[in-house]
Amino acid sequence: MNMSSSLPVIRLKPKANARAIRHGAPWVYDNELVTDRRTKGLTPGALAVLEDADRHPLAIVGVNPLSRIFARVLDRNLDATIDQAWFAAKFTRAQEMRDRLFGAPFYRLIHAEADGLPGVVVDRFGDAVVIQPNAAWAEALLEPMVAALVEVTGVSCVIKNGSGRARGLEGLDEESVVLVGDAPEAPVPVAMNGATYMADLTGGQKTGLFYDQRPNHAFAASLSRDARVLDVFSHVGGFSLAALAGGATSAVAVDGSAAALSLAEAGARAAGVEARFETRKGDAFDVLTALNEEGSKFDVVICDPPAFAPSKPALEKGLRAYERVARLAAPLVAEGGYLGLCSCSHAADLAKFRTASVRGIGRAGRAAQLIHTGFAGPDHPLMPQLAESGYLKSLFFRL
């Protein structure tokens, strides 16, 4: 007997787009389903069979009646069994690509839907991995998933990071816990683009390091030879440490987190560039305003803020914030210098983000050429049927 024959059934409404699911769309919203008392009574994280309005089975899904995303497609093969071996096949496929792309096991191993594990993020740091099970089905099947992760990667430490907005939307707890082995006692050094970054796997933001910006760090470094560099919203020194590795004469990292700046300083020491590196703690908007009042100038200024528009309701406010960043940052760029502006808000698409950025530069009285548009690295693949998987945008201007 196959697994699907024993699972409960949920059904699309007649007007719902079954073709989209057949063509790869990974999500089914609550308003697309026939929801009766039985459907609403399903346990969050349970598996079910999704049928179209004519009762033709479409896929095995993970369900959560508490979430707007009621169902997430796990497998279109109705004979599939969602067990440790199923997870191991997903991890093996994902790892094969990363090992082809990167010389060392420091990368995003699983990028949620794009790697066939909806809502699941796994970042690898050598012998340790940090997992974010951001969907109810993944939380429910955490045990076989982690067993498969250890089986495929051979890591000795698995840390679950329960923080983040996504888990809240799924009705999940925010607990972070070491699931396998012992957490590293010190931050883990990660070499990227000639720089060394210190990743705090248990106390840092998200999984400890943002791998997605790797190609954009590299592009910024290519602009930074003999340059004075300002890195705003720097976290652990993402752009500034890459710029110093690229030959910058000096770099200033600005962030509101003392812990993140301390890790940035440790990264600078590890790479032997601490003499050219300084940090400035404070609200980024306040620091940008103060630097303008001081008459400061830099050859390269990069701003990589948190998601100002994490959802559609926050879009307009978020776009105004991106415009404000550009307006405050542009006057700090020396004539002929470069301004890099980034957004990790999936609600603000590239066109809207670019419009807000250009408007801010214009309001600062500067003229600009757009010289480069960057996205997340290939360890963050984009699922063509899911715009949200392509959230990161970086715009580089010459002013």
Please report, in tens digits, the pLDDT of each residue of the chain (399 residues total): 577 789 999 999 998 889 999 999 999 999 999 988 999 999 999 999 999 999 999 999 999 999 999 999 999 999 999 999 999 999 999 999 999 999 999 999 999 999 999 999 999 999 999 999 999 999 999 999 999 999 999 999 999 999 888 898 899 999 999 999 999 999 999 999 999 999 999 886 667 889 999 999 999 999 999 999 999 999 999 999 999 999 999 999 999 999 999 999 999 999 999 999 999 999 999 999 999 999 999 999 999 999 998 888 999 999 999 999 999 999 999 999 999 999 999 889 999 999 999 999 999 999 999 999 999 999 999 998 887 778 999 999 999
- Domain ranges across the chain: 3-75, 84-180, 189-398
Separation of first and last alpha carbons in the chain: 66
Q: Report how far residue 245's alpha carbon sits from residue 356's, in angstroms, rounded to the nearest whole number.
A: 31
Q: Which fold has domain 84-180?
A: Transcription Regulator spoIIAA (3.30.750)
CATH 3.40.50.150 for domain 189-398, yes or no, is yes
Asked if the domains 3-75 and 189-398 are classified in one and the same CATH topology, the answer is no
Whole-structure pTM value = 0.94
The CA distances from residue 218 to 369, 374, 388, in Å, are 20, 10, 24
- Domain 3-75 CATH class label: mainly beta
Q: What's the burial of 48, exposed, middle or buried (CB within 10 Å: 0-12/13-18/19+)?
A: buried
Return the active site residues.
Answer: 344
In this structure, what DSSP letter does residue 33 have?
A: B
